[in-house]
């Protein structure tokens, strides 16, 4: 008898003979140690009986090959049962799920996400095919992908930074173990997102899809330039715009001497003939820091000037003391 066949049958009988009912009530004739009786025992899943017969069967019997084929078929069936049980156990256990690695890129009106079914991008991909994708759902502010392969389950949830158009978004299976999402931006005009996720913390297995992004570098510059031009004024520009809208105007160049420019913030100079000073516009943090640095520099310069003057007075006094001494020597 071939040792490999006997060993497989012993293992099979030890793990599954009881589960399969020991041959469905058919008596095991151990005295008939033929390859044909071995095949019959395997077909009725009586692995305990098959193991006993295998120990005495003639290995030169041509039917042994048929017995080996039948054993492989039984092993495959047991494997399918084991996989189904494992999947059933993993469905309700969140710890068995993982977020797949993904990279993203964008154009002015679309977001592209390349998903790799692995825990990180440089790890081998699980061979998830299109038939293993359980669900891909698009909402106005969220994308959800669910897939499985054997006992592995993948859940990817992206809460997008800004709204997308679910009806115009789509997905396609790429090579085995990968898929590509195309998300349509909901904005009426082209825009550039600073990040993909609404949360500021980037997932550890998320990266930039550089090969794809390079295709839109020229568009990026144009979109960002337009966004900057359309952006509402901020800081001093906003104050001047509000003043102009209210009917006022910025100071003319001829009146420039009547204003002090503090860090770029125009402030009317006080009138020397009056003690009342005009109300000062609130300073921004940057202007405050600049003003403080200016004051410190002025204070240091004043101190240095006083020190130079003091040194000059000391030198003059020293010269006066030494002058009478020189006169007496002469």
User: Mean pLDDT in runs of 10 for the chain (330 residues)?
Assistant: 46 44 61 79 83 78 78 82 66 71 96 96 93 95 95 95 96 93 94 95 95 94 87 72 65 45 46 51 73 88 88 84 66
**Residue 263 has what pLDDT?**
45
Give which of 107, 288, 260 is closest to 183, Cα–Cα.
107
**Residue 210 has what pLDDT?**
96
**Residue 240 has what pLDDT?**
74
**Residue 326 has what pLDDT?**
62
β partners of residue 170: 182
Which residues, at least 6 apart from 162, have a Cβ–Cβ distance to it below 8 Å?
185, 186, 187, 191, 193
Decide if 122 contacts 189 (C-beta within 8 A).
no
**Residue 121 has what pLDDT?**
95
**Residue 134 has what pLDDT?**
95
**Residue 55 has what pLDDT?**
79
Is the whole-model pTM more than 0.75?
no
Q: State how far the Cα of 257 lies from the Cα of 247, in Å rounded to an integer.
A: 22
Residue 156 CB burial class (10 angstroms; 0-12, 13-18, ≥19):
buried
Q: State how far the Cα of 118 lies from the Cα of 205, in Å rounded to an integer.
A: 9
Strands 101-106 and 97-98: unpaired
Q: State how far the Cα of 135 lies from the Cα of 153, in Å rounded to an integer.
A: 12
**Residue 71 has what pLDDT?**
82
């Amino acid at each position: 008898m071939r040792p490999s066949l006997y060993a497989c049958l012993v293992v099979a009988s030890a793990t599954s003979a009881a589960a399969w009912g020991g041959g469905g009530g058919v008596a095991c004739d151990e005295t008939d140690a033929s390859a044909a009786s071995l095949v019959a025992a395997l077909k009725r899943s009586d692995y305990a009986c098959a193991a006993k017969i295998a120990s005495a069967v003639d290995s030169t019997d041509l039917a042994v090959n048929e017995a080996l084929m039948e054993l492989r078929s039984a092993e495959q069936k047991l494997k399918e049962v084991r996989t189904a049980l494992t999947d059933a156990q993993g469905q309700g256990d969140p710890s068995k799920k993982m977020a797949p690695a993904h990279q993203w890129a964008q154009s002015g009106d679309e977001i592209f996400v390349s998903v790799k079914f692995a825990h990180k991008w440089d790890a081998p991909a699980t061979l998830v095919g299109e038939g293993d994708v359980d669900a891909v759902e698009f909402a106005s502010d969220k994308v959800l992908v669910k897939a499985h392969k054997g006992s592995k389950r993948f859940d990817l949830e992206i809460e997008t930074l800004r709204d997308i158009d679910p009806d115009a978004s789509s997905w396609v299976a790429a090579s085995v173990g990968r898929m590509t999402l195309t998300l349509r931006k909901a904005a009426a005009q082209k825009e550039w997102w600073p990040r993909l996720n609404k949360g500021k913390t980037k997932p550890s297995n998320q990266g930039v899809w550089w090969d794809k992004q390079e295709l839109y570098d020229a568009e990026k510059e144009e979109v960002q330039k337009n966004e900057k031009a359309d952006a509402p004024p901020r800081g001093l520009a906003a104050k001047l715009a509000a003043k102009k809208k209210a009917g006022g105007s910025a100071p003319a160049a001829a009146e420039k001497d009547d204003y002090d420019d503090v860090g770029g913030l125009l402030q009317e100079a006080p009138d020397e003939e009056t003690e009342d000073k005009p109300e000062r516009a609130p300073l921004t943090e940057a202007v405050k820091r600049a003003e403080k640095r200016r004051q410190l520099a002025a204070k240091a310069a004043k101190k240095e000037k006083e020190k130079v003057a003091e040194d000059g007075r000391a030198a003059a006094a020293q010269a006066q003391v030494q002058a009478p001494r020189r006169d007496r020597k002469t």
